[in-house]
Amino acid sequence: MKKYFLLICLFLPACLSSTPDSRFYLLENPQATQTVSVKKINIAVQDISVPTYLDRPQIVLRNPDNPELKIAEFDRWASDLNTMLQTFVVNGLQEALPNAVVKPLVYGGRPKYVVKINIEKFGGWLGQSAYISGNWQILNNNGHVVYEQNIKTETPCGKTYAEYVKTQSLMLNEITNLIAKKIVSL
């Protein structure tokens, strides 16, 4: 009997403790995206590449001043990050170019332009800043690069994951608007 009582005493605290609820976040385009042009253009957005350490459901923070990563166990992306980034850019370009046809790139498609984005760093630290760096390209329908630009942006962010995600969304929206303006000028 003492043996069972001892086992119950050991495992009871583990049964009574609870884990926090997970919180899920989406990158969202701001409501008031400015129309860049009403040109009719066919545009495709290629899968967006991100570092492999970000390929997980948890939000990963990276302090720019040291190599420390913080993997937020209970603060997660509501969707696959690569897919969410591609959808964000497609929707942002569609809002900035309302008469354009903007879709994810599919095999066999022949859009006039293809947008290719390579994100090398996508991170930040709560209460400090969020940042994005990498590059983006616009390719013509023959696959030749017609324009390329580096990305390096950093913005102060709040102390919560919701504020961090909102800051990342705002920076991505600025990048999307730059891409839309460049496409129109080609």
- Residue 1, pLDDT > 80, answer no
- Residue 67, pLDDT > 90, answer no
Q: Band the pLDDT of 105: cuts 50, 70, 90.
A: very high
Residue 25 lies inside a defined structural domain of this protein:
no
Domain coverage including residue 159: 39-185
DSSP state of 49: B
Top-confidence residue, 147 or 7: 147
Residue 149 lies inside a defined structural domain of this protein:
yes
Residue 136 lies inside a defined structural domain of this protein:
yes
d(CA 56, CA 69) in angstroms, rounded, equals: 13
Asked if residues 84 and 56 have their Cβ atoms less than 8 Å apart, the reply is: no
As a whole number of Å, the CA-based R_g of the chain is: 21
Residue 27 lies inside a defined structural domain of this protein:
no
Residue 60 lies inside a defined structural domain of this protein:
yes
CATH, residue 163: 3.40.50.10610
Backbone angles phi, psi at 71, to 5 degrees: -100, 115
Q: What pLDDT does 155 receive?
A: 96
Share of the chain above pLDDT 70, in %: 89
Top-confidence residue, 1 or 137: 137
Q: Band the pLDDT of 38: cuts 50, 70, 90.
A: confident
Residue 13 lies inside a defined structural domain of this protein:
no
User: In degrees, to the nearest 5, what angle opens at C-alpha 184 toward C-alphas 178 and 186?
Assistant: 105
Q: What pLDDT does 34 receive?
A: 75
Domain count of the chain? 1
Pairing of the two strands 113-125 and 101-104: unpaired
- Residue 55, pLDDT > 60, answer yes
Top-confidence residue, 1 or 150: 150
Residue 30 lies inside a defined structural domain of this protein:
no
Residue 33 lies inside a defined structural domain of this protein:
no
3-class DSSP state for residue 136? strand
Pairing of the two strands 129-140 and 145-156: antiparallel
Q: What pLDDT does 148 receive?
A: 98
Q: Band the pLDDT of 182: cuts 50, 70, 90.
A: very high
d(CA 97, CA 55) in angstroms, rounded, equals: 30
pLDDT in tens, 128-170: 999 999 999 999 999 999 999 999 999 999 999 999 999 999 9
